[in-house]
Amino acid sequence: MSAFLLMAFNEFGGGKENMANHKPDDCLLVIFGASGDLVKRKLIPALFALFQQKLLPEHFAILGAARTQMTDADFRAEMADAVRDFSEHKPRDDAEMEAFTRLLHYHPLRDYVEAWRRDEVSEFAHLKAQIEAIAASEGLGANYIFYLATPAKVFGDVAEGLGAHGLQNQDHGWRRIIVEKPFGEDLDSARKLNQRLLAIFEEDQIYRIDHYLGKETVQNLLVFRFANGIFEPVWNRQYIDHVEVTAAETIGVEERGAFYEGTGALRDMVQSHLLQIAAMVAMEQPESFEAQTVRNQSLEVFQHLRHYGPDEIAASVVRGQYMASKIRGQDVKGYREEDKVGPDSRTDTYVALRVFIDNERWGGVPFYIRAGKRLPTRATEAVIYFKPGAQHLFGIDNPLRAKSDTLILRIQPDEGIVLKFQMKAPGPGFDLQDVQMDFHYSDLTDVHLPSAYERLVVDAMLGSPMLYARGDVIESCWEFITPILDAWRDDPKIGLYGYPAGTWGPPEADDLLARDGATWRYPCKNLAERGGTCVL
């Protein structure tokens, strides 16, 4: 393990020790959409992990609300199964599982959409009564978090239902609302949703979740840059040739064809996750690590993104769609053969962009961003390519043969950081060979690596919004993305390129880099030779 990378980890103070520095206030967590897949697979396992580590408030309860008709006992049994099925940290015994499920309560709602308008005594009036009853019986005070794990189309309706009954008021305790993605489907819808939320809640009460920002390596990116004096002086256009941000998935759309038809890779991955990662790479040093200053710096990055003109989109953005193929001898359906997908669908399952940030630090440095489904391996990473040194001294006169020092920040899986550079090969002469210094979080066997949802839930309880997206940041991202969506909709001449499932996307995406004399990095290119294990 690299000593300087371990120093960066220790500087950040990651893991349980850092999260336990402050105990959250007593509170009630109300989860809308509590019978859904996200809650079972991510949120409840994260809450159980926090329970195991004694990181939850001293007095705490969870109230699930959804349209599914269940009793408290039904909900507790279902969430216990979710912990056993999806949690990395299994219950030590039945007593521990029972102690956790005693925190759980349930309230059935007939309908979210305008539910608070339907009756003289509305659904939300009954919900408010149960919230107050649980808070009183469990000694929780009046601190409430409302977590919207519902379909995006009802975010505004749920917020208005809460507002109609004063559940946003902070007269006797704090109130916060966590909003899952997608936050809008274009600039106009994002602005309208922001307006609806801000009509009820203050900005500092609204936590717009992006679970990528909760990943350890994304956060450590800031520490790596700003805590280590050897990197920040070369973190600019004078020394960096280009930057690459990749999110590759091996899976297709699974059973989410109907959802994905209205979304696509550009909306689903680039607008939120990958632009946020790019901002972490590109931002200026904040004056402090307080939420507002860090989020102001990310906003600055988005405000300096070079927007495409209508005639530039086809040359700077490539969209693709996976086709039927064989992967390891197994037949794999193409996207248009997936359930609830149209036979002539033009939805993007792959997208690659050539992006520029027009400011003093990054002017002229291309950022290449790509995301895709049915690619050869699962990997999310940011890669910084430094400009090659004086390699002509060692007989390398062709710029295309010159290798650059490379910094790889792996976000998932096998989170870690690798610095690749060149050294002299043993023996006579000055032949060069690649070597690397690496750090993997998995090497820290004595440190618990929190999941993104563990960290984000605790941060919301603590009132720390740094890892959540602010409304103006989201709108700024949509300002960049929406013209691309409009061009795809309105200009049939812009291509949609097929790529066989299990490959690295359409060849046209390679041209984005080829014009600059660069090529994509292929994580785990020789995956089969490594027995299927993906390593940095």
Is residue 87 domain-resident? yes
Give phi and psi for 452, each to the nearest 5.
-60, -40
Q: Which residue has the tokens 């709602």?
A: 109
CA distance 180 to 147: 8
pLDDT of 12 strictly over 60 = no
Query: How many Cα neighbours within 13 Å face the side chain of 494?
Result: 23
Q: Kind of pairing, strands 240-248 and 366-372?
A: parallel
How sure is the predictor about 185, in pLDDT bands with cuts at 50, 70 and 90?
very high
Quick one: pLDDT at residue 452? 84
Residues 314 and 368 in one domain: yes
Q: Looking at residue 98, which CATH number applies to its domain?
A: 3.40.50.720
Is residue 13 domain-resident? no
pLDDT of 288 strictly over 60 = yes
Quick one: pLDDT at residue 14? 43
Q: Which residue has the higher pLDDT, 215 or 278?
A: 278
Spatial contact of 103 and 61, defined as CB atoms under 8 Å apart: yes
pLDDT of 508 strictly over 60 = yes
Quick one: pLDDT at residue 182? 87
Residues 332 and 466 in one domain: yes
pLDDT of 261 strictly over 70 = yes
Q: What is the CA radius of gyration of the chain?
A: 24
- Average of per-residue pLDDT across 373-402: 73
Is residue 201 domain-resident? no
Query: How many Cα neighbours within 13 Å face the side chain of 180?
Result: 21
Assess whether 273 carries a catalytic annotation.
Answer: yes
Q: Which residue has the higher pLDDT, 161 or 220?
A: 161
For the chain, the average pLDDT equals: 86
How sure is the predictor about 4, in pLDDT bands with cuts at 50, 70 and 90?
very low
Q: Which of 208, 112, 90, 127 is nearest to 468 (CA)?
A: 208
- Average of per-residue pLDDT across 464-468: 87
Q: What is the DSSP letter of 182?
A: P
CA distance 124 to 159: 11
Q: Is 31 helix (H, G, I), strand (E, B) or coil?
A: strand
Residues 56 and 105 in one domain: yes
How sure is the predictor about 16, in pLDDT bands with cuts at 50, 70 and 90?
very low
Quick one: pLDDT at residue 219? 75
Is residue 342 domain-resident? yes
pLDDT of 3 strictly over 50 = no
pLDDT of 119 strictly over 60 = no
CA distance 365 to 288: 27
Structure tokens at 386: 């430094």
Overall number of domains in the chain = 2
Expressed as residue numbers, the domain containing 435 is 213-530
Residues 387 and 524 in one domain: yes
Is residue 205 domain-resident? no
Is residue 15 domain-resident? no
Quick one: pLDDT at residue 396? 54
Residues 278 and 154 in one domain: no
- Average of per-residue pLDDT across 100-119: 75
How sure is the predictor about 22, in pLDDT bands with cuts at 50, 70 and 90?
confident
pLDDT of 5 strictly over 60 = no
Q: Looking at residue 425, which CATH number applies to its domain?
A: 3.30.360.10
Report if pTM > 0.85.
Answer: yes
Residues 152 and 229 in one domain: no
pLDDT of 322 strictly over 70 = yes
Residues 98 and 33 in one domain: yes
Residues 224 and 292 in one domain: yes
Helix axes 471-490, 187-198, angle to 10 degrees: 150
- Average of per-residue pLDDT across 26-46: 95
Of the residues 172, 242, 273, 440, which is catalytic?
Answer: 273
- Average of per-residue pLDDT across 122-146: 93
Is residue 30 domain-resident? yes
Is residue 107 domain-resident? yes
The CA angle 344-346-350, to the nearest 5 degrees, is: 135
Quick one: pLDDT at residue 254? 86
